[in-house]
């Protein structure tokens, strides 16, 4: 006979669907499922906590406290009201659990009474968030504050609140999520508003770190190269790094006229090693060179646009036997199958870059573009965190 029981939560009668152990397992699965849903639903809180830490200056505050700060230290160093100590404690708990900061041993509280206070320290991540005014605990020349501030600003975040109506619209490909929200494309906005400065600062901060990594971990990428064009190279940060490391390489930066107008003087860009700046459009012409660099350019564009850019690159370089190649720095989704953080970051970035109708790509998707653009071979080196170096040969 099948028994019935009364549910203590809703006073309704349910039929037993299995043994007590099976019912217990199903209940535990339900609770685990709910936990995972809440974890995802509240994920944006981590982003907002990071933004708050940047706005308040918590990484700098910890650096000024010789790399270890209690909550009272943080309040004093940031100028936050002492009455808000409990709020800061809760903020730091989230940022510690999520790995932005670390909590060291506790020390006796200044108030005595046998209490102890947590001591917060920097991690490799938060060391990158110490500003140029920090005391050397971070690496100021590779500071990532501008790179993190841009995706967390209101202009870049609000388009995602309208993701559902956009993704349900059959005309989505014609009007980006960003354009739907702001009435103009990102590239149009960067021509005429202060967002241009924030965007350039973001790209400069990222380029300094990534080019340091490239030149440290894989300098042979530039072996045999005598001239190079950095396409979309803005103020020449990447080209300058290459010119300093390889003075024999003649480096040129190609970008749109309004970008080149604000470019630094050639000698200022490369510390005495000349970098030439040329105004132009990568869709129509790329100056001739031994190699072409595309650092974080192609993920901004759809497949057809990437093919157009790469065809111009192919025209600009010599044949493979002559050493011609295109150096691409971009994500290859799934390039580190055993690294869950890398995989999730790539997937998140793919959804993120969708707001300007860009895309992060798997190797098979890259290969299709390369073939369509007329290239014969390529090599992928996944050494840059969630990004890779791709050498593309004509």
Residues designated catalytic: 299
Distance CA 51, CA 56 (A): 9
């Amino acid at each position: 006979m099948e028994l019935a029981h009364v549910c203590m939560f809703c006073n309704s009668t349910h039929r037993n669907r299995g043994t007590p152990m099976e019912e217990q397992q199903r209940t535990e699965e339900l609770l685990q499922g709910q936990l995972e849903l809440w974890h995802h639903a509240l994920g944006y809180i981590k982003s907002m906590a990071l933004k708050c830490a940047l706005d308040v200056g918590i990484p700098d505050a910890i650096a000024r406290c010789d790399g270890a700060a209690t909550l009272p230290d943080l309040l004093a160093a940031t100028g936050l009201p002492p009455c808000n100590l409990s709020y800061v404690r809760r903020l730091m708990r989230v940022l510690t659990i999520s790995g932005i900061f670390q909590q060291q041993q506790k020390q006796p509280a200044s108030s005595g009474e046998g209490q102890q206070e947590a001591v917060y320290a920097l991690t490799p991540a938060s060391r990158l968030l110490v500003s140029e005014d920090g005391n050397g605990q971070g690496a100021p020349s590779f500071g990532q504050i501008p790179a993190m501030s841009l995706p967390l600003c209101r202009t870049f975040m609000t388009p995602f609140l309208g993701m559902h109506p956009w993704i349900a619209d059959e005309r989505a490909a014609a009007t980006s999520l960003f354009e739907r929200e702001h009435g103009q494309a990102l590239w149009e906005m960067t021509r005429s508003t202060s967002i241009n400065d924030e965007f350039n600062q973001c790209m400069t901060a990222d380029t300094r770190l990534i080019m340091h990594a490239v030149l440290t971990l894989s300098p042979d990428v530039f072996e045999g190269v005598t001239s190079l064009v950095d396409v979309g190279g803005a103020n020449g940060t990447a080209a300058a790094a290459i010119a300093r490391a390889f003075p024999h390489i003649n480096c040129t930066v190609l970008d749109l006229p309004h970008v080149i107008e604000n470019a630094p003087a050639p000698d200022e860009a490369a510390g005495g090693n000349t970098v030439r700046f040329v105004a132009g459009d990568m869709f129509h012409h790329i100056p001739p060179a031994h190699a072409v660099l595309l650092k974080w350019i192609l993920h901004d564009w759809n497949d057809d646009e990437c093919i157009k850019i790469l065809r111009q690159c192919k025209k600009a370089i010599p044949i493979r036997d002559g050493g011609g190649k295109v150096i691409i720095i971009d994500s290859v989704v799934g390039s580190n199958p055993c690294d869950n953080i890398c995989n999730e970051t790539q997937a998140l970035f793919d959804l993120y870059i969708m707001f300007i109708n860009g895309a992060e790509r798997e190797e098979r998707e890259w290969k299709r573009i390369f073939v369509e653009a007329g290239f014969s071979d390529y090599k992928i080196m996944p050494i840059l965190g969630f990004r890779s170096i791709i050498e593309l040969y004509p």
